[in-house]
Amino acid sequence: MSLRLNSAIGGYRLIEYLGRGGMGEVYLAREEGGGRLAAVKLPHSGAPGEAALRFQTEAEVQGKLHHPNIARLLRSGSECGQLYIAMEYVPGSTLTDMLRGGPLEVPRALEIAVVVADAINYIHARGIVHRDLKSSNIKIAPDGAVKLLDFGIAKMAAAPALTRSGCSIGTDDCMAPEQVRGGPVDARADIWAFGVMLYEMLAGRRPFAADTAVELYRRILEAPPPALEKLRPGVPPAVIAVVARCLRKKPGDRYQTARELWDALLAAKDPSRSAPPAHRRAWTALRERRYLLPAIAGALLACLAACPALLNRGPGPNVPAPGAPVAAAPPAPAAGDLVPVSITSDNGVWRVLRDGRDFGPTPATIFGREGETIEFTLKRADCPDFRKTLQIPATAWTVTEHPPCGGR
């Protein structure tokens, strides 16, 4: 059907045209009845069957993701033969818009980079490759929050290929060499694109440019990027090294995981952390397995409870036997590290919100710094909101709530 402004689809009324991309058009919409705003995406009119499959794949991918720095899916479907995807609307500017004013200060660039690396790590842990990571797909909200957008050409590891062998897909000057060749693509192509984005944030331009596609592809495949230290004197060597490793031509020479990249960025932000501590790697692993966090935390607590009894089996009440190994207490996160707290509920599924951000259904993981007091809200359509204040502990923790709901 032909859709225009003020028409409705999927329970949303289209109120403003936002733009057009390779996969479709995007409209600002409001939920019928004066509800929340959404970004509604519609495929191009007359799109071929393959494009429709991509559109459906995008909805499927987005529906699997619940991360504070990834725009969330609100609804998707088909109405009168018209496919649609309703996404969280993120106000603000894209990273591309921000960079029109020139390169970012190094600290701000690293802040954004760390957040995006965490989001990429999250999707990779779920077998998803974005394949179109670029500055225009990063939105910066007015409060400074960073959101990753547009999974239009993302691919799930187990999904059948929608790209014919020998065909490249992506944004030309952000594509990794293996994408240019039209070969197999895995998560390391996203690592390359991340390097392009970080280079762009620091230099104010992308590392590879040319007047023709043929020359652009040749440079991506063969030429080194212009030296970042010459374009932007003063960028710390550790940051330049991160960019350089992301942009290595062979996938095997890049960071092999986004978690490894994330650790390198944290070390570059704070040179005193030349190697990521084991506890920080543990917290990252927990984030990748947030649905296992309650069980892991419970087992950890049981072990900790048993440790004193084991240690006290010796000649004195609290003295270990000579030569016996002494178990070290689990290291608390270094000052400034984020501590994961898993929020669960024992009377159904609730959505977890904090500071206006939706962290998804329980069990959901939120983060804070040791000693920080935070407030979160549990929401469910058929129950009153349940607000809770919590002081962040020193180690990973699980909080189980029983929000009141009609006497249940």
Active-site residue set: 132
Q: Which residues pair with 31 in a beta bridge?
A: 12
The arrangement of strands across the sheet holding 12-20 comes to 8-9, 12-20, 24-31, 37-43, 82-88, 73-79
Q: At CA 210, angle to CA 120 and CA 22, rounded to 5?
A: 50
Say if residues 92 and 197 touch (Cβ distance below 8 Å): no
- Measured CA to CA in angstroms, residue 261 lies from 119, 184, 245, 254, 373 at distances of 12, 21, 9, 9, 30
Best CA proximity match to 114, nearest among 337, 393, 334, 292 = 337
Q: In the numeric block, which tokens belong to residue 378? A: 């549990």
Sign of CA dihedral 205, 209, 210, 213: negative
Q: In the numeric block, which tokens belong to residue 116? A: 């995006």
Which helix H or strand E contains 178, and what residues bound it?
A: helix 177-180
d(Cα 174, Cα 244) in Å, to the nearest integer?
15
- State yes or no: cis peptide before 363, omega within 30 of 0: yes
In single-letter form, the type of residue at position 228 comes to: L
